[in-house]
Amino acid sequence: MDQANPFETPKTFAVHRAEYLVGFAVSTGLIIAHFGEINWWVWIGLFLYIDLIGYIPGAIAFKRSGGRPIPKAYYVLYNVMHSLITQAAVVGLWCWWFGPEWALLAIPWHLSGDRGLFGNFMKSFALPYEPVRQQGYLRLLDDLRLPHPKPVGHVMDPEPVGHLPAVPAQNPPPAPAPVAAANNTERPVSTAAR
């Protein structure tokens, strides 16, 4: 779900990220091989527009919220702008209107870097906008008898904020005091009954 709560085992999450690291390495190699052929103003624009539209507005809203939930529209913006499907359409339209060019490598480099290097996948409405370790994920690791890895991007576990907390279970009412026998003597209880 996010890098702090992948809801995968740490090893499968690492393999999942490794697949994107391959894409990052390939796009990096192509960028290096065609360095002189890249229109760098276009490359920078294509690299930045994904976060300018899809991440920065939500990050600002999350920071300003003071821990309160932010509108789901920010999650949708992030997910749409960081979608391989959306960005494939952008590349296709660019090629149709302007023709193919090496600057388009900014898009796979950005997306594969986000996922492979940083573990940033789609944002879930069920989690805070910024990754915060959730107790449910830690319980999953405990159930699987796996150690808790250090959260990605955090020196220590921050407090879960920015979402609606789980409703705490109501404490059961205290048991009524035992009623003493009419003669105010208690009967001894056998050790077998205890």
Nearest-angstrom CA–CA distance, 91 and 181: 85
The predicted pLDDT at position 190 comes to 45
Q: Per residue in 108-157, pLDDT tens?
A: 999 999 999 988 999 988 888 887 777 777 777 777 777 776 655 544 44
Q: Furthest-apart CA pair in the chain: how many Å?
A: 101
The DSSP 8-state label assigned to residue 172 in this structure reads P
Q: Which residues contact 165 (CB under 8 A, 6 or more apart)?
A: none
Number of H helices, E strands in the chain: 7, 0
- What count of residues does the chain have? 194
The DSSP 8-state label assigned to residue 132 in this structure reads -
Is the Cβ–Cβ distance between 140 and 5 less than 8 Å? no
The DSSP 8-state label assigned to residue 108 in this structure reads H
Q: What string of DSSP letters covers 32-99?
A: HHTGGG--HHHHHHHHHHHHHHHTHHHHHHHHHHTTS---HHHHHHHHHHT-HHHHHHHHHHHHHHT-
Structure tokens at 2: 């996010």
The predicted pLDDT at position 178 comes to 59
The predicted pLDDT at position 61 comes to 95
Positions in the chain whose pLDDT score sits under 70 = 1-8, 149-194
